[in-house]
Amino acid sequence: MILEKYIVSADKAKALVEIKRGEDEFTPTYHLHFPKLEKGTVALLEEIKDEIIDQLKILPQELLNPQAIGNLRERFYEKCAELIKKKLPGIKKDDEEFLASILIHEMLGLGRLEFLIADGELEEIVVNNSKEPVWVYHKKYGWLKTNVYVQSEAEIANYASAIARRVGRQITTLHPLLDAHLVTGDRVNATLFPISTKGNTLTIRRFRRKPWTITDFIQNKTVTPEIAALLWLSIQYEMNMIISGGTASGKTSFLNSLMPFIPANQRIISIEDTREIQLPEFLHWVPLTTREANPEGKGEVSMLDLLVNSLRMRPDRIIVGEIRRGKEAEVLFEAMHTGHSVYATLHADTAEQTYRRLVNPPISVPEALLEALDLVVVMFRDRRKGIRRVYEVAEIVSKFIGSRITSEVRVMYRWNPSKDRMSQLKRSVKLIKKLKTFTGMSDREIRQDLKEKESILKWMVKNSINTVNAVGYLVSLYYQNPEKILSMVKKKKKASDLVPRYYLEG
C-alpha cells in the first residue's frame, strides 16, 4: 500500500519517492525511483569523468571554502552538460540535466545519498554498512528502510574521507571517528571498521534549509504568542536564558528563532561545535566554531577557548551552542555576572532537572552564580504525535537562609499534553522585578508592552512573515519606530509593504 509519494530534486535531477507499507513489513519503506542507466550510458559517464578530471583543475582551497564549493559545482555541471551534448547529440534537456547532475553527485557529492539529503521531509540519513540498505528518519513516518545501498565499504570510507578533508580533518584506521558537517550545514558522523563491527557507518543529520522563525513556531503551536512576547521582552532588555530539552526536542532551533529579537546595534558572538545558528544578515554578529586536534594532537580550539576569547571581543550578547562541562558553565555564568547577556542550550527534560544538572557534577555551577540566570525554557518532543512544544517556562529564585544560599525553581508556564495548551501556574517574581529595575517600567507599562508585542507577533503570523531576515527586519523597525509598526498592526495593513522583497524570500 502506498502511503505517500512526491518528487525530490537534487541539483537538476528529479526522482520519485514512494512511502509504502507491506503486509509483512513492521515499518513502512522508502522507495527512491529514478531511471535505470544502461551499461553503455554508465560507460559513457565514466569516460566523461576522466575527461573532466583532465580538463578542470581543482585548487585545495576550493574544497575547504563553502562558497568556492558552490562555484566549483557550477563549473563541473557546465562542463558535464557540454560533454554530454557533444557525445549524445539530440539528447533531451531533461535527460541531459539528469545525467549531468548524477555526474556531479558522484564526483563532488555522496552519490545517490544526495537525493536523500535533498528530501526536505527527512531528518536523518543512516548508512550502517554496505550490506544493509540505507535507513532514513522521516518527519511523518519515523524510521524507514530504503531501497538505496552504498555499494562497498571502501565507498563509505571514501565519502567519510572526502567530508573530513573539506573541514581540515582526517578519518583513518588510527583515528576512526569523525564529527563534521557538509557545505549544506548538515551534520555528519562517521565511524570506521573495526570500531563499528558490522562495517563503516555514516550518520547525516539533515538541517532545515530555511531556519525556523518565531512566527513558524507560533503558527504550528510550538509556542503561544503570549509566551513569545514575554521572551521577546526578556531578550530586548538583556535577560539571560537557557533553552533546555531532550535530544531532537528543538532546543537550538528555538534558540535561533529568538535571536532576531536582539537589537541591531549590539555585538553578538556565537560559539558552537557545528555551525547551526543563523541570524539576520544585518545584525552585528561574529560566529565562532570549535576545531578538533589534528592527528598529531595539536591545533585544538575548544568551546572553553572560544568562550574565554569571546569576552575579549567586546560582546553585548554571547550565544553558546551547548553547555557540557563545568569550566564552560563557570565562564558562562561569570560572563553573566560581568554584564554580558548570555543564551545557551542544555540537555535536560524539565526546569527542575535543568537546575539539578547545573548545580551537580560534572557541571557544578555554584549556587551563588545561578542568580544571574533569568529564564529557563524547556522544549519537549511528543514522539507519538510528532509535535514539539515549549514544555515549561521557569525562573530560578535564589535566597539566603542564614549564610547558606538555596534556590527555588518557579515554573510559571507548563504545557498540558492532554489539552495541548499552555497553562500559567505562577506569576513571575524575579524576572518582572529585574525588568522593572533595568527599564524603569511599571507593572502596567510592562503589561502594555507585552500586549503590543503579542499583537505584532500575531500580525506577522497572519502576514506570513516567516524568514529570519524578515522577522529581524520588522523587529528592528519596531525598536526604531514603535508607533509606525503599531499603527500598521492596528490598521491591519500588510507587513510585506514594509519589508524588502529579498528579506521576505530568505
The answer to the question of residue 321 being in a domain is: yes
Total of domains in the chain: 1
DSSP 248-269: TSSHHHHHHHHGGGS-TTSEEE
Q: Where are the alpha helices (DSSP H) in 60-131?
A: 60-64, 66-87, 93-108, 113-118
The answer to the question of residue 88 being in a domain is: no
The answer to the question of residue 327 being in a domain is: yes
Give the C-alpha separation, 247 to 186, whole Å.
Answer: 17
Q: Residue 475 is placed in which grid cell?
A: 523587529
Residues recorded for the chain: 506
Q: What is the pLDDT of residue 32?
A: 95
Give the C-alpha separation, 330 to 85, whole Å.
Answer: 62
The DSSP secondary-structure symbol of 221 reads T
Q: Residue 401 is placed in which grid cell?
A: 537562609
CA–CA–CA angle 285, 205, 299 (5° rounding): 55
**Residue ranges of E strands in 109-260:** 122-127, 135-138, 142-146, 177-181, 187-191, 201-205, 241-245
Q: What is the pLDDT of residue 49?
A: 84
The answer to the question of residue 111 being in a domain is: no
- Peptide bond connecting 35 to the previous residue in cis, omega within 30 degrees of 0: no
Q: In what order do the strands lie in the sheet with 29-33?
A: 2-10, 13-20, 29-33, 142-146, 135-138, 122-127, 201-205, 187-191, 177-181
Give the C-alpha separation, 113 to 90, whole Å.
Answer: 30
CB atoms within 10 A of CB 342: 24
Give the C-alpha separation, 245 to 248, whole Å.
Answer: 8
The answer to the question of residue 84 being in a domain is: no
Q: Using alpha carbons, select from 171, 147, 163 the residue that is nearest to residue 205.
A: 163
The answer to the question of residue 340 being in a domain is: yes
CATH number of the domain enclosing 262: 3.40.50.300
Give the C-alpha separation, 83 to 75, whole Å.
Answer: 12
Contacts of 312 (CB under 8 A, 6+ apart): none
Give the C-alpha separation, 383 to 389, whole Å.
Answer: 11
Q: What is the pLDDT of residue 225?
A: 98
Strand partners, 17: 6, 32
Output the CA–CA distances (angstroms, integers) from residue 427 to 31, 175, 343, 410, 411, in the order listed. 52, 53, 22, 9, 9
The answer to the question of residue 374 being in a domain is: yes
Q: What is the pLDDT of residue 405?
A: 82
Contacts of 401 (CB under 8 A, 6+ apart): none
Give the residue ranges of the chain where pLDDT is below 70: 58-68, 295, 506
Could you tell me the residue range of the domain that residue 366 belongs to?
Answer: 214-441
Cβ pair 34, 147 in contact under 8 A: no
Give the C-alpha separation, 227 to 448, whole Å.
Answer: 14
Q: Where are the alpha helices (DSSP H) in 214-325?
A: 214-219, 225-236, 251-258, 303-310
The answer to the question of residue 380 being in a domain is: yes
Give the C-alpha separation, 449 to 217, whole Å.
Answer: 21
